[in-house]
Each structure stands twice: as structure tokens, then as C-alpha cells.
Structure 1
Amino acid sequence: MTVTATVPATAGGLGTLYVYGIAPAGLRTPRVPGVNGAPVGLLTEDGLCAAVSAAPERPRPRRRDLLAHQAVLDELAAQGPVLPMRFAVLTPEPDTLRAQLRSDRAELLRQLDGIAGCVEMNVKGTVVPGCVEELLRRDEGLRALALRTRRRPGYEANVRLGEALARGVRQEARRAAREVLARLAPLAVRTAEGPLDDERVLSTSFLVRAGDEPRFRREVEARARAHGDRLALGVTGPLPCYSFVDARPAPAGR
């Protein structure tokens, strides 16, 4: 077993480290500065490496540090698969991280193999409130409720109609979201669902082969045109594959 540590001089090889991601050994050390402006180094153990820097005293999600975290991951991902850490993952000392790389080696390599050559694309869809006329045209029950409300207007009648229309609009948006998902899922290796609410009716991450990204974007654009009266679509990516990995270095005791 070969153990190599190229850690930032400011870390002194000791103390709490900030961890950006885990990748196969042999990568170039990122040149961009890390969180809090700290230089980034690679801690290598048994065929794997972890990108690390000296941990700030109190990591805070400031924009410059979030961007620095992302920039380090982008530089690593440009060289091959990387298991990205969320912002502010710490490990108490280098030996703790080395031990985990050894003990979890088989699982980490399996995950790296699973995302090799892929990127994460995230698609969100929110309700468009402007399809009321179409709803009334197609829904006999809503038309009847709207007619009764016009004939006998009043606060309670207006509330009932408003609630019914809102439910109908959400149902239309959810139906469109299911149709979008059915068209996009075959273009991905895997999918991962995110949280939904009354307004956000689609939130899905797609593990897409890097070469298929242009085709995936074109399909999102086509679905946005087809369903734009019911569903507002947005796509973000390429992203590190956060939704498709489970890399969890031992956290610092704090």
C-alpha cells in the first residue's frame, strides 16, 4: 500500500482539514485557491486521493467560499470522476481521512466507476398560473362552478372558485411534469428526485453521460416549449454528481 500526502503547507500535515472531494489517485493538484483562500493539496492513500485544505475556524457559506469550493471540484472533474463533498465537510486530521479511504476503498471505487464520464443535470419545474381559460374550457365541473359564482357572487363563492382553479392549475402542472420526466429519464443513466411543494412540481437530478449533454439540453428546451403554458422549466448543469454519490469522510468533532 502506497501512502502519499501532498497537503498544503499551511495545514502542516496536522489538524482539521476541509475536504472537497475524492477521486482516483494520480490527479494534478488543483491550482485554484480553496475556501478562505487556502491552497489546496491532495492526500493520497491506496489508489485514492482527497482534495483538502486547511480548515477555516468557522466555515461559513459566503458566496466567495461557495464559489471556491465549486472551482476546486470543477478542476478535479475536468480530469476525471470525482465524488464531491457538500460545503463545509471537515475531517479531524489526515490520519482519520487516510483510514477512511482505506476502509471504504472498494465502495468509493465502485461509486467512482458509476459516475465516470457523466455529469449531473438538475431540472426544476414550477407552476405557471396562466392556464385558467384552458382549464375552464376542458373541465365541465369548473365551468359550472364559475358560472354559479358569476350568477351569485360573494366572498365564499369567490374563495371556492379560486381554490378550485388553483388546484386545477397545479394538477395540470403536475401532469406536465410527469410527461417531462418520462421524456428526459431515458436520456439519463440514473435519476434522483428532489423535494417538491405546491409550486415546485418537478425537481429531478439526472446523471447524464457527458457526450449526451447537448441532446439532453435540447430535449429540455423542447419540453419547455411544449408545456410552457402550464410548467416553467429550468435546467442547471453540468454539476458535480452530488445526487449520485455517498462519500462521507468522518466529520470533525465540533
Structure 2
Amino acid sequence: MTAPATATTTTAPPKALYVYGITPAGVRAPRSLGVDGAPVRLLTGSGLCAAVSAAPARLRPRRRDLLAHQAVLDELAAQGPLLPMRFAVLSPRTDVLLSQLRSDSAHLTRQLDDVRGCVEFNVKGAVVPGHFAELVRRDESLRDLALRTRRRPDYEANVRLGEVLARGVRREARRAARDVLDRLTPLAVRTVQGPTDDECVLSASFLLRSTDERRFRQAVEARALEYGDRLALSVTGPLPCYSFVDPSPAPAGR
């Protein structure tokens, strides 16, 4: 398998395979058509199955192909553990992919065991703008600055006050995000943190037992109520376990 393409358009080599995911052997081939309307088939080797279709000559992230990719994964995930590939993962030939299944079978089987009975949820937290009144009430230095600016308003003073308030709002949102992460992490089998910035101060993926989904959603809702004045939480899932899959074994010695 090769890494997903980062370019807008990918030209696949002749007879290349588009790879959707890897499952234990014995699953049924998805009925859904794959990317570019191609039928999906299963390649089986070493107790594993790779769901593949013929790669289109030109591969673009069109909405219909993204939805087709997801539909195939949904059918596979409904049958058991799945190592999902992200959109646009290709293998150059059938024999290459079967060889990889053989050589990596122990690693891939462990990965499947790790996600068995699990789903992924992603939680993001965005800064809520305008969380000023409470901030000023609790911070004496901010109260003093706001009072001085009100008494002697000018452009620079207003800009300075705005910058200080914005930093304070982000600081409060980050503090809330840390608490949310601390509260949710014990509910998950594993947690992976994603990139954040000044606006999105929380991004984390959680590997959950399917039986814990309701409890997890309730915990997110409780935190959203607790911190809704400073942190806007959103949750996406259940998803295939993209963030918890490593299709390639670590090099020897690591």
C-alpha cells in the first residue's frame, strides 16, 4: 500500500488497486460500489482480507467518491473489526498487496484485535468569543485596564484592551479544554490529540468500546453545559477507527 495522495488529482499506474481497508478473513464483499463506480472485491491471504477495487486512471476527492469510500467502510465495519484506509490509498499490483498481507500479518492481526468492538469519536472545542464580562469581573488587572480605557478612550487603548481580553478568553478556553480532555480520557481505550490553534483549542480522537458510546456522549454534553460560555464543543462519531490504525509495522529495533 502507498500513502494517500496529497495532490488534488492523482494519476494511478495501470492495474493499480484502490484499497479501502483490511479485515479478518471471512467477511462478505461489500455490495456498495466503490470509488469511480467500481465493484469492490476481497483479496484474502494469511487470515486477512483487503477490500479493493480497480483504481481509476485519475483519482480526485469528489464528493461522490468520498461517499462511496465511506459506504464501503460502513459495510465492512458492520461485520467486525476493520483497519480503515483513508481516501486515495493505492497499491501498485495484486501480488504486491498480497505479499504485504503475508509479511505484515502478525502486526495487522494485532491491530484488528485492538479495535475489535470499538469505534472512534472526535471531539473539538472552539473558543467562544465575547466571554468578557465574567473575565473582567474576576481579574482585577483587567478591571483596572477596562476602567482606564473607559475614562480615557483612544484607539491604542481600545486595541490594547481588546488584545488583553482576547488572550484572556483563549486562556480560559484552553483551561476548559484541558479539563474536558481529562474528564473524557478515562472513558476511552485510547486517546490521540490532534492539532490545535488560537480558535480550535481542543481536538482529540477517542477509541471507545461500542458499549460506552452513550456514556461518552453524556459526558460530552455535561462538559458542554459546564463550559458553554467559553468553549463550544462538537462531537463526531461513531467513525471507523482511522486515528488508531498503523497499517505498517515498526522497523526492527524500535
Please report the TM-score for the alignment, with normalisation by the length of structure 1: 0.91
Corresponding residue of 1:180 = 180
Corresponding residue of 1:32 = 32
Q: Give the superposition deviation at 1:248.
A: 5.0
Corresponding residue of 1:83 = 83
Aligned residue runs from structure 1 range 220-231, under 5 A: 220-231=220-231
Q: Give the superposition deviation at 1:130.
A: 2.5
Q: Contact conserved, 2:121 with 2:239, CA < 8 A, in 1?
A: yes
In 1, Cα distance between the equivalents of 2:43 and 2:141? Answer: 65
Q: Give the superposition deviation at 1:153.
A: 1.2
- In 2 relative to 1, CA 248–17 (structure 1 residues): closer, same or farther, beyond 3 Å? farther
Q: Hey, which bits of structure 1, 4+ residues long, moved more than 3 A?
A: none
The answer to whether the aligner puts 1:205 opposite 2:224 as a matched pair is: no
Corresponding residue of 2:101 = 101
CA deviation digits over 1:134-172, x for unaligned, max 9? 000001111111111111111111111000000000011
CA deviation digits over 1:65-85, x for unaligned, max 9? 101101101100001111010
In 2, Cα distance between the equivalents of 1:234 and 1:207? Answer: 16
Aligned residue runs from structure 1 range 152-191, under 5 A: 152-191=152-191
Q: Contact conserved, 1:188 with 1:207, CA < 8 A, in 2?
A: yes
SS in structure 2 of the partner of residue 23 of structure 1: strand
Please report the TM-score for the alignment, with normalisation by the length of structure 2: 0.91
Q: Contact conserved, 1:84 with 1:247, CA < 8 A, in 2?
A: no
In 2, Cα distance between the equivalents of 1:130 and 1:184? Answer: 26
Aligned residue runs from structure 1 range 1-254, under 5 A: 15-247=15-247
Q: Contact conserved, 1:41 with 1:52, CA < 8 A, in 2?
A: yes
Corresponding residue of 2:6 = none
| Percentage of pairs with the same residue | 75
Worse overlay, 143-152 or 48-57: 143-152
CA deviation digits over 1:62-107, x for unaligned, max 9? 1111011011011000011110101000101100100110111111
SS in structure 2 of the partner of residue 32 of structure 1: coil
In 2, Cα distance between the equivalents of 1:215 and 1:169? Answer: 29
Unpaired runs of 5+ residues, structure 1, are 1-13, 250-254
Q: Give the superposition deviation at 1:183.
A: 1.0
In 1, Cα distance between the equivalents of 2:84 and 2:247? Answer: 8
Aligned residues: 236
In 2, Cα distance between the equivalents of 1:248 and 1:205? Answer: 20
CA deviation digits over 1:35-75, x for unaligned, max 9? 01111000001100100001011111111110110110110
In 1, Cα distance between the equivalents of 2:235 and 2:67? Answer: 19
Q: Contact conserved, 1:125 with 1:232, CA < 8 A, in 2?
A: yes
Q: Give the superposition deviation at 1:182.
A: 1.1
Q: Contact conserved, 2:104 with 2:248, CA < 8 A, in 1?
A: no
What is the RMSD of the two structures over their aligned residues, measured on CA atoms? 1.1
Q: Contact conserved, 1:125 with 1:177, CA < 8 A, in 2?
A: yes
SS in structure 1 of the partner of residue 59 of structure 2: coil
Q: Contact conserved, 2:188 with 2:208, CA < 8 A, in 1?
A: yes
Unpaired runs of 5+ residues, structure 2, are 1-13, 250-254
Task: Name the aligned partner's letter for residue 110 of structure 1.
Answer: R
SS in structure 1 of the partner of residue 198 of structure 2: coil
